[in-house]
């Protein structure tokens, strides 16, 4: 069986400019996630970052990517619209997309959602409990009843997204808020999964349950099997004789 080609994309700015973040992710968030995924022989993993030419997402890279993982925060505006358009087209044509944490406000996620994707937040390092509300969903495979993170940034409702096609996790926060933390969408032939945890100053992407969710999500979001191209033309020659003219 051929391997699933995963590209982990990170804006990779916090880790270069802030020592406290660099201590948590010395090689960058993208490498922490990629290192974990590389342990699975089903995956072929590479990384790409904002400051590479074409943000590391050349036509060649995008063409061979089956699932793209996206982490961004302070530099959403630096992502070129032409690259966003290319990622968007690839998703509609079957590439999976996993958007993490502050990626909710990325150009690509907002374009795919068609809403503002705004939310409420608080950064005091409170406890988060992510409840698995669809125990049979492939993204929740191997998890217990919930995932507990001792220290996280809070994201609270209302989260301005369209109602997810499937909602896998709801988060509860120590301060009282709740949040739709694991949201699945179908967009064209592609699958999109938004997963909330991952504030840059906490070691979230070393947590085994969080990594399990990301790994499961890559498999869930893998592209569909080859199918004939869609036919959007005028169907002027019907398959059957139409008698009711
Ligand atoms: Zn954050």
- Residue 38: give its domain's CATH number: 3.40.50.880
Cα 200 to ligand 1 centre (Å):
6
In the chain, the number of structural domains is 1
Please report the beta strands in the chain, taking only residues with DSSP state E, as ranges in sequence order. 4-10, 43-49, 67-71, 96-100, 120-132, 146-156, 166-173, 178-187, 190-195
Cα 149 to ligand 1 centre (Å):
14
Judge whether 44 lies within some domain. yes
Q: Could you read off the pLDDT tens digit of each residue along the chain, which spans 245 residues?
A: 799 999 999 999 999 999 999 999 999 999 999 999 999 999 999 999 999 999 999 999 999 999 999 999 999 999 999 999 999 999 999 999 999 999 999 999 999 999 999 999 999 999 999 999 999 999 999 999 999 999 999 999 999 999 999 999 999 999 999 999 999 999 999 999 999 999 999 999 999 999 999 999 999 999 999 878 888 999 999 999 999 97
Asked if 55 contacts 27 with a C-beta cutoff of 8 angstroms, the reply is: no
pTM here is 0.96
What is the distance between the alpha carbons of residues 83 and 217, in angstroms, rounded to a whole number?
23
Give the range of the structural domain holding residue 62, as residue numbers without chain letter.
4-114+182-220
Q: Which DSSP helix (H) or strand (E) runs through 57? A: none
Judge whether 134 lies within some domain. no
Cα 198 to ligand 1 centre (Å):
7
- Three-state SS string across 192-215, please? EEEECCCCCCCCHHHCHHHHHHHH
Judge whether 168 lies within some domain. no
């Amino acid at each position: 069986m051929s391997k699933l080609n995963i590209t982990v994309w990170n804006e990779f700015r916090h880790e270069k400019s802030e020592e406290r973040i660099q201590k948590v992710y010395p090689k960058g968030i993208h490498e922490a996630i990629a290192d974990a995924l590389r342990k699975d022989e089903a995956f072929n993993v590479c990384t790409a970052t904002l400051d590479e030419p074409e943000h590391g997402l050349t036509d060649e890279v995008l063409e061979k990517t089956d699932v793209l993982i996206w982490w961004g925060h302070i530099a959403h505006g630096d992502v070129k619209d032409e690259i966003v358009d290319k990622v968007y087209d690839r998703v509609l044509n079957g590439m999976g997309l996993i958007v993490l944490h502050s990626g909710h406000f990325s150009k690509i996620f907002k374009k795919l959602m068609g809403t503002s994707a705004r939310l409420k937040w608080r950064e005091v390092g409170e406890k988060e409990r992510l409840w698995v509300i669809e125990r049979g969903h492939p993204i929740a495979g191997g998890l217990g009843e919930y995932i507990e993170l001792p220290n996280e940034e809070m994201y609270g409702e209302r989260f301005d997204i369209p109602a997810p096609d499937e909602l896998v996790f709801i988060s509860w926060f120590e301060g009282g808020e709740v949040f739709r933390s694991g949201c699945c969408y179908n967009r064209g032939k592609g699958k999109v999964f938004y997963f909330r945890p991952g504030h840059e100053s906490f070691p979230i992407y070393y947590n085994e349950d969080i990594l399990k969710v990301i790994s499961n999500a890559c498999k869930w979001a893998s592209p569909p099997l080859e199918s004939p191209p869609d036919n959007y033309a005028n169907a002027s020659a019907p398959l059957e004789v139409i008698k009711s003219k």
